[in-house]
Amino acid sequence: MEIAAEKVVKIHYTLTNDDGQTLDSSREMDPLEYLHGAQNIIAGLENSLTGKTVGSKLNVTVDPNEGYGMRDEKLLMEIPREQFGELEVEKGMQFQSQVDGQMMIFTVLDSNETGVQVDGNHPLAGERLHFDVEVIAIREATADEIQHGHIHATGGCGCGDPDGGCHD
Ligand code: ZN
């Protein structure tokens, strides 16, 4: 079976940056399982996996425009301290917030009594990514998975995505 849209694919991967530093790896964990053709993983990696088979090993270099985008200095912002209420704000803390209808992750850079400086760029924005990938398994997606646009682990959906139409 070849990797194509509507297949569920299991891969092991190690992600390194240009300096050869390991940023993330599935090797110590279970393989990553995802629905191909549903933009569950970054475009540059997904495209390279199309047509591959179980046992395929590949090295994929993904430029920022096919990865997590370029850094955008406009996403360095200051948020009034009072918007955080009683919440303790610490450097390095991350939180999610909706901006123009899109869920974004912000990292706290610094804070003082009046404001909190945050960075809305993805931590890997602007990085060229190197994936060392091995295809572990491929199966047909179920009708539910195709409809929801993501895989269902054993026992059902459990995706917790209120927009995913995953509720009976
Ligand atoms: Zn679902």
Question: Per residue in 92-141, pLDDT tens?
Answer: 999 888 878 878 889 999 999 899 999 999 888 999 999 999 999 999 99
CA of 166 to the centre of ligand 1 (A): 4
Average pLDDT for the chain: 90
Angle at 143 between CA 9 and CA 167, to 5 degrees: 105
Expressed in angstroms and rounded, the spacing between residue 119 Cα and the centre of ligand 1 is 31
Rounded to the nearest angstrom, the distance between the alpha carbon of 161 and the centre of ligand 1 is 7
pLDDT surpasses 80 at 7: yes
Residue 110 and residue 152: Cα distance in Å, rounded? 39
For residue 6, pLDDT over 80 is answered with: yes
Q: How many residues does the chain have?
A: 168
CA of 120 to the centre of ligand 1 (A): 27
CA of 67 to the centre of ligand 1 (A): 24
Distance 25 CA to ligand 1 centre (A): 25
Average of pLDDT values for 154-164? 58
Work out the pLDDT band at 164, boundaries 50, 70, 90. very low
pLDDT at 165 over 60: no
Ligand 1 center–CA 113 separation, angstroms: 42
Whether the per-residue pLDDT at 79 is higher than 70: the answer is: yes
Interval between CA 118 and ligand 1 midpoint (Å): 32
CA distances (Å), 151 to each of 2, 8, 128, 164, in order? 18, 7, 27, 11
Query: In angstroms, what is the span from residue 152 Cα to ligand 1's centroid?
Result: 6
Specify whether the CB–CB gap between 94 and 105 falls below 8 A. yes
Q: What number is the average pLDDT over the span 49-71?
A: 95
DSSP letter string over the chain?
A: ----TTEEEEEEEEEE-TT--EEEESTTSPPEEEETTTTSS-HHHHHHHTT--TT-EEEEEE-GGGTT----GGGEEEEEGGGGTT----TT-EEEEEETTEEEEEEEEEE-SSEEEEE-S-TTTT--EEEEEEEEEEEEPPHHHHHHTS---TTS-----TTTT---
C-alpha 160 – ligand 1 centre gap (Å): 8
